[in-house]
Amino acid sequence: MSTDKKSGKVDMSGGQSLGQNPFGALGGLSLPSGPTGPGVTAGAKTQAVGGVGSVQGAGAGKPVAQVPEKNRGRVDVLREKNGRGGKTVTVAAGFTGIGLPEKEALAKKMQKACGVGGTVKDGRIEIQGDKRDEVARILTEAGFRAVFAGG
């Protein structure tokens, strides 16, 4: 790195070439492929790296397990007692972008998993009892980001 004595600026021209590719010898080896994300194929991955060789080895032809790739937004999971005669209710609120049929399907799944009753009221899912952990697990499996709110 050279600096100009008068102005104190660093030379940013890039300097000279390295002369050889430090990863050039890896092209002939049959290395196992790394994990691929959703929508990335092994061929596209090697082309992005530089198109050196083909990807071979264990797992190259096997399908990769799909993980929920989209974040469907934040959903607040809270516990309420007010106006319910002292009974505790778990509420999932703040859904964006889903309609009533999907909320009802989620409520039914939550009721079944928790072994309690529940309903969809005013765009919120209400489950009887303090079942925040189970509700958060089901919402996470559905692609939502469950956040515990309130007490």
User: Where does the pLDDT of residue 63 fall: very low under 50, low under 70, confident under 90, or very high at 90 and above?
Assistant: low
pLDDT band for position 45 (cuts 50, 70, 90):
very low
SS3 of 3, please?
strand
Amino acid at 68: P
Residue 57 has pLDDT above 60, yes or no: no
List of domains in the chain: 74-148 (3.30.780.10)
79-127 confidence digits (pLDDT tens): 998 888 889 999 999 998 889 999 999 999 999 999 999 999 999 999 9
Q: Is the pLDDT of residue 64 over 70?
A: no
State the pLDDT at residue 54.
Answer: 45
Give me the residues paired with residue 121 across strands: 124
Residue 11 has pLDDT above 60, yes or no: yes
Specify the pLDDT at position 38.
Answer: 63
CA proximity to 90, closest of 72, 54, 115: 115
44: its two tokens: 């596209």
Position 9 scores a pLDDT of: 78
Lowest-confidence region among 35-44, 49-58, 71-80, 100-109? 49-58
Degrees to nearest 5, angle at CA 102 with 97 and 106:
115
Q: Are 46 and 54 in contact (CB under 8 A)?
A: yes
Averaged pLDDT of the chain: 78
* pLDDT at residue 126, as a whole number: 95
Q: How confident is the model at residue 18 (pLDDT cuts 50, 70, 90)?
A: low
Q: Which of 3-7, 53-57, 69-73, 144-148 has the lowest mean pLDDT?
A: 53-57
